[in-house]
Structure 1
Amino acid sequence: MTPAPDSQPVVIVGAGPAGAALAMLLAERGVKVTLVEAARDFQRQFRGEGLMPSGLAALEAMGCGPLLARLPQRSLSAWSFHLHGRKLFRVEEPMEGQRPCTLISQPALLEALLERASRDSGFQWRQGLSVVDVIEAEGRVAGVVLSDGSRLAASLVVASDGRSSLVRQRSGLELERQNSPIDLLWFRLPSHPRFESDNAFTMLLGEDGAACSLFHGAQPGELQLGWVLSPGERFERSPQAWGEVFAAMAPDWLAYHLRQVAPAISAPLKLSVQVGCCRRWHRPGLLLLGDAAHPMSPIRAQGINMALRDAVVAANLLLAPLMAGDTAAVDTSLEQIQAERLPEIQRAQTLQQQEARQAQLLRRSPLLRRALVQLAPWLGERIGHSWRQRQIPLRQGLATVEITV
């Protein structure tokens, strides 16, 4: 679509899920958009892959169904919980409806969204340049300064530059942090044939309270493993030693595999978990979206799903005032975006906290773990049903999000 002559330029900082999706949606509807990304490619060590039904529905609402079908992906078949190497319960996918949780390569997704945005003449892509400051004029954010010294003027700046958002810091909007009891170590290792046919998200809890989860990601032949890192825990171990630690928590078939592939286990990547929400997501001329506004816990992969849903709502409310060149109406729409998105974000973070407390109780109570192991043959199915019911809101979303423009 050719940009309308009076449409006002938008600068989006950060080409993650929120930024890339919003850039595509606005550009396709005639808004002049410049998307700025500091990284030179999308291949960083860790990018979340877990798309819940809520995130898949958001992408389908954007018209990305055919696009999704072409991307590297793998659906989950179940969620399987093990205590001391014994199965506690298993819940099959899909839990409800027709959509299972699906692991999709995020770099491939971002590249596809960018390719679609690039078809429109009003879209500009500035890669490998970071934002170093914001431009202010008459009480409004009026653009950004890039690391090469260039200045981009804008009627609206959208900061989707992650949980450590520099734009947020430069603009004086504060993140109210919540306590997070964990950090994660992230590993990659060769897959087992069983995961090819039965890709169960497998959660392991050991006799000493150690915890990890593993699953087959979007890339072929590769397992991803997240180790829950307790405060102050040291993690200087060889790959062989890590293999032994993981195997000690696993059922026999998986323990054998983990010992066999131990030399090929990657060096761990530490992921510092940050959770919080800004009291205000906006100033005149500026909007925060995704992790810049509300960094999520990794529990049930809410970060990417909420970011995509943010982009849909932002596009709905921004399009008309941007096309009209009405800055006062743009600023009013920023308030409306936060008002519409905040209840779902707050509720999702509350549910994540509840899940974290359940997990912490199990990790800290040897007596409870031993009791569950002994009672699993009789109580496992009931515990699994209770767990399944708690997951449905985090999977389906807690608000209706649809494209209206």
Structure 2
Amino acid sequence: MTPATPAVVIVGAGPAGASLAMLLAERGVPVTLVEAARDAQRRFRGEGLMPSGLAALEAMGCGPLLTRLPHRSLSGWSFQLHGRQLFRVEEPLGNGPPCTLVSQPALLDALVERASQASNFHWKPGLAVVDLMHARERITGVVLSDGSRLEASLVVGADGRSSLVRQRAGLELQSQSSPIDLLWFRLPSHPRFEADNVFTMLLGEDGSACSVFHGALPGELQLGWVLSPGERIERSPQDWGEAFAAMAPSWLADHLRRVGPAISAPLKLSVQVGCCPRWQRPGLLLLGDAAHPMSPIRAQGINMALRDALVATNHLLAPLIRGDLAGIDTSLERIQAERFPEILRAQELQQQEARQAQLLRRSPLLRSILVQLAPWLGERIGSSWRQRQIPLRQGLAPVRLTV
């Protein structure tokens, strides 16, 4: 294969696609990264890097890069019931650094910029993939929205939970039942969050639930509202401020009412969770949300995507350098075999957390009892919650970059 013909076409410049493109290009593999959007400035991109995701970036040599990007560490996690604190857990939990919020658009731009320093990297923003190319039961490239065709010895679909690559490849996504939907808001920060950035989960007397925290960008709070089935979402910013304030402690409630007019219009996030039983076909691999869309619980999406890229690089580099198509296809199976157990276990743990949250939302009696017993049981409940989070933070399998 000549250098003019890309050995790999990666579809989607999210965390999995951008990091894999950088890793392969820096190791001498011709790579073309195709992205339908013209830039990374989507309204919502997850920011939470757990120790597992931070370690993945360190393995890629991107640790120093993070210090130059908008970022902010969490100082703790607080659970509030009916405006009163049930418990608070301090960061970091267990070994490793604290959960760190990083501007994902800035991170993706930095990964693409670093990949662009390799002469064999080609960047195609603003072009969508509309179809796959085939020859003798093998995927051999992609067709772009401008009618052009890119041949490849491997196509990687990293184009998100609604992956067109997955659909065109005929790979099934098995969705989990009872997904939740979220409304995502941005609003001006409060000085208290500037000094003490606690990820605060609020549960109101009517079962309403939301989380609020200071994001990576200066002066900005982010708020995720759990949307109940059939709930009305056509509210004014001030009305949303009142709804948030009704479940918050007094200092935060005052702030939410005061900044109500400045609360952004909500972005609805339809949460899709699942996993493909098969991530690959000859000449094609799915990674990240294209293969296994994650629940937003504990920000696993970006962290698992980065870990996917490390494992894929380990297995793919040698056969790609050799131009060994049979070896590439065998590597695809090995990548899924290595990543599959961690993904399934992480989704199981996310489901367990979701079930506990649903139980609290649906049981006024349980919430009332917990509020009354919080002075005596809060610390014990917090300790139990802390222990449950550690596997999701640290990762559920050893992942290292070995090439």
Question: What is aligned with 1:282?
Answer: 280
Q: CA deviation at 1:97?
A: 1.9
Alignment of 1:58 with 2:95, yes or no, is no
Summarize the alignment of residues 17-32 of structure 1 with structure 2, pairs less than 5 Å apart.
Answer: 17-32=15-30
- Please point out which of 182, 185, 195 is paired with 1:184: 182
- Please point out which of 254, 261, 267 is paired with 1:263: 261
Question: What is aligned with 1:307?
Answer: 305
CA distance in 2, matches of 1:209, 1:126: 46
- Please point out which of 73, 87, 91 is paired with 1:89: 87
Summarize the alignment of residues 2-401 of structure 1 with structure 2, pairs less than 5 Å apart.
Answer: 9-401=7-399
Secondary structure of the residue aligned to 2:29 is coil
Secondary structure of the residue aligned to 2:293 is coil
Q: Which 5+ residue runs of structure 1 have no aligned equivalent?
A: none
CA contact (8 A) 2:13 2:159 kept: yes
CA contact (8 A) 2:5 2:152 kept: no
Secondary structure of the residue aligned to 2:162 is coil
TM norm structure 2: 0.99
Q: CA deviation at 1:181?
A: 3.8
Count of residue pairs brought into register by the alignment:
403
Q: Which 5+ residue runs of structure 2 have no aligned equivalent?
A: none
Secondary structure of the residue aligned to 2:199 is strand
Q: Which stretch of structure 1 is more off in the superposition, 62-71 or 290-299?
A: 62-71
Secondary structure of the residue aligned to 1:195 is helix
CA contact (8 A) 2:5 2:151 kept: no
CA contact (8 A) 1:7 1:324 kept: no
CA contact (8 A) 2:6 2:151 kept: no
Q: Deviations over 1:372-391 (max 9, x none)?
A: 00000000000000000000
Q: Deviations over 1:274-315 (max 9, x none)?
A: 000001000000000000000000000000000000000000
CA contact (8 A) 1:274 1:296 kept: yes
Q: Deviations over 1:205-259 (max 9, x none)?
A: 0000000000000000000000000122111111111111100100010000000
Q: Deviations over 1:256-279 (max 9, x none)?
A: 000000000000000000000001
CA distance in 2, matches of 1:189, 1:48: 16
Q: CA deviation at 1:66?
A: 1.0
CA distance in 1, matches of 2:13, 2:343: 21
Secondary structure of the residue aligned to 1:287 is strand
Secondary structure of the residue aligned to 2:140 is strand
CA distance in 2, matches of 1:180, 1:348: 17
CA contact (8 A) 2:179 2:273 kept: no
Give, as a single letter, the amino acid of the residue that structure 1 aligns with 2:228. Answer: S
Give, as a single letter, the amino acid of the residue that structure 1 aligns with 2:183. Answer: L
Q: 1:5 to 1:47 in 2, by over 3 A?
A: closer
CA distance in 2, matches of 1:370, 1:349: 30
